[in-house]
Amino acid sequence: MDNLPLLSLIGLGALVLIFSSMKTMHILAMIKDGSIARYWRILKFAMIFFLVGYLGVMAMVVVGITDILILLTGMIFFFGALFVYFVVHTGELTIQELLEDEKHIRQLAHFDAVTSLPNRTLFFERLSKSITLASRHQQKLAVLFIDLDGFKEVNDSFGHDTGDAVLKAVAERLTTHVRGADTVGRVGGDEFLVLLNEISSPAAGEIVARKMIDTLNQPIIDGEISCQVGASIGIAIFPDDGNDIETLIKQADDAMYVAKRGGKNQFISYAQAFADGPGQHQPLPEGAIAPH
């Protein structure tokens, strides 16, 4: 057959196409959103170029166009196939790197680097969604503002490495007292926020706060170093104490400072702290002090 070498060339190109298509399917399975749309546009262009070249060769073979044109077109088709393979093969690794980089960037953007807890940005996003749902279903939620007592002394005495170990231990202990639907976030050096969804009553927030203070009173061991921190906790309830993010955080923060001024290592709700109105806080009631 006169066109046997050409058909062999076309066959090799077809094999490259099939192999490239399999890799393309793998890449498509890796693509989750539009973050790598630029690469996908290049791949589609290469595949279209490849397909047009292949169909062109087949058409010329069928209608009997001169061999030299078929050969030239076949060469374009074959090298186009190689180009597609190159783009797909090298791009597969590029996609993996992009996805890993994007995951790392997302981690940095939404989670605390030391404790791996949600940071301020992610916590506020979750709180915003929870407020919307609680309002829609007429439910209550609680925001706990936690400020560690004695952390600065630990950090100054034993160094930042031990300070980071303490923060990690605190994060682990706090998360043991919340449900999967709740959120514990680190929003500052020694400040944490807790979101308790769908609570039955304001007392539910106080129960969790008491447990958290009890568990934080236990010594934290870092190698040969044993240290201890406490926590002052303020509690704000939606919708009783506020119906937006800023108000709830502020009320919980204000209540926390009342607890800290009252002797530290205790909790109090905003309603208890400011029973006579903002700025007129009451002495801490006996039930608000966590036993230790």
Asked, as a colleague might, if the bond just before 219 is cis with ω within 30 of 0, I would say: no
DSSP strand E in 139-209: where?
140-149, 183-186, 191-199
Tokens of 280: 């007129």
* Cα–Cα distances in angstroms (integers) from residue 149 to residues 153, 260, 265, in the given order: 9, 8, 7
Token look-up 């996609």 returns: 95
First to last CA, the chain: 95
Residue at 195: amino acid letter: L
Identity of the amino acid at 118: P
Largest CA distance in the chain: 102
- Outline where DSSP puts E strands in the chain: 140-149, 183-186, 191-199, 220-222, 225-227, 230-238, 267-269
**CA-based Rg of the chain, rounded to a whole angstrom?**
31
Place of tokens 């009252």: 262
Q: Which of 112, 182, 190, 222 is catalytic?
A: 190
Pairwise CA distance, residues 207 & 215, whole Å: 13
Q: With both helix axes pointing from N to C terminus, report the angle between 120-137 and 245-261 in degrees, rounded to the nearest 10.
A: 110
Region of 27 on the Ramachandran plot (φ > 0 left; ψ -120 to 50 alpha; else beta): alpha
> How many of the other CB atoms lie within 10 Å of CB of 207?
13
Whether residue 190 lies in the annotated active site: yes
Tokens encoding 226: 């044993």
Angle at 148 between CA 147 and CA 151, to 5 degrees: 140
Active site residues: 190
